[in-house]
Amino acid sequence: MYAEFSPYLCDTPVIDFNHPSVAEFAEKNSGVSIDPVPRAVSLYYAVRDGIRYDPYSIDLSVEGLRASATLKTGRGWCVAKAILLAACCRYAKIPARLGFADIRNHLSTERMRRQMKTDVFYWHGYTSIHLLGKWIKATPAFNIELCNKFRIKPLDFDGKNDSIYHPFDLTGNKHMEYLRYRGEFEDVPIDAIKETFYKEYIQAAKLQGADFDREVDQETGQ
């Protein structure tokens, strides 16, 4: 692998792919092919559907963001799931970095909207994976059960094309808008994310410990 990709193959305190649980998860879910494309695709679906999306699980500490921590709890917000996918790809010797964007999310629970005072999600995280000579965006945040409940088309990933959120749900209602791309990084810009969150999410502390799954079931009639 060329030296230019070495920063995107490194283990870090957050992207801790050498942790036994991350290594085991990556080995189990990377498939049998030696081709990096199907390996990355297999890892994408393992993270997307094997880890439940939980926007109330935000912990902006190194310990809380670690890939191994997300595996331990079995749930995570978009950034945590993107970190886990990046860690798995790096374990499989596939260069991966973390991408961030500000998005307007039209589909969130009533309590979340009320507490956040906004429908803008700052520093939404995705994984950027180097395959077939280019960087490809992969967004493993929403597990398929959640997509079905909200009638959102699940994001598929083929290892060849960007996998980013659809602008509309299955009934034609607005779903996601990308407002601003913040760039792609070799590691998590924790301090920059904290600064934005403390500024924009005045009520963020009140979101801790809430039950997102229960709120979704109540609002979707499940």
175 versus 197: the higher-pLDDT residue is 197
Give me the pLDDT at residue 213, please. 46
Q: What is the CA radius of gyration of the chain?
A: 17
Q: What is the mean pLDDT of residues 53-68?
A: 92
More confident residue, 118 or 62: 62
**CATH code of residue 205:** 3.10.620.30
What residues make up the domain containing 54? 3-220
**In total, how many domains does the chain have?**
1
Pairing outcome for strands 52-53 and 75-76? parallel
Residues 6 or more apart whose Cβ sits within 8 Å of residue 183: 99, 100
Identify the band that residue 35 occupies on the pLDDT scale cut at 50, 70 and 90: very high
| pLDDT tens profile 99-118 | 999 998 755 666 666 666 77
**DSSP for residue 124:** E
Nearest to 68 by CA among 87, 46, 52, 47: 87
Q: How far is CA 91 from CA 40, 45, 88, 136, 177, in A?
A: 11, 16, 5, 18, 32
Residue type, 79: V
Task: State pLDDT tens for residues 121-180.
Answer: 899 999 999 999 999 999 999 888 888 887 788 889 999 999 987 766 677 666 778 899
| pLDDT of the residue at 106 | 57
| φ and ψ of 210, to 5 deg | -75, 160
Tell me if 149 sits within 8 A of 220, measured CB to CB: yes
Q: Residue 58: its pLDDT value, please?
A: 87
Q: Which residues contact 157 (CB under 8 A, 6 or more apart)?
A: 40, 41, 44, 45, 48, 138, 140, 163
Tens digits of per-residue pLDDT, 70-108? Answer: 999 999 999 999 999 999 999 999 999 999 999 987 556
DSSP readout, 67-106? Answer: HHHHHHHTEE-HHHHHHHHHHHHHHTT--EEEEEEEEEES
Give me the mean pLDDT over the 191-211 stretch. 70
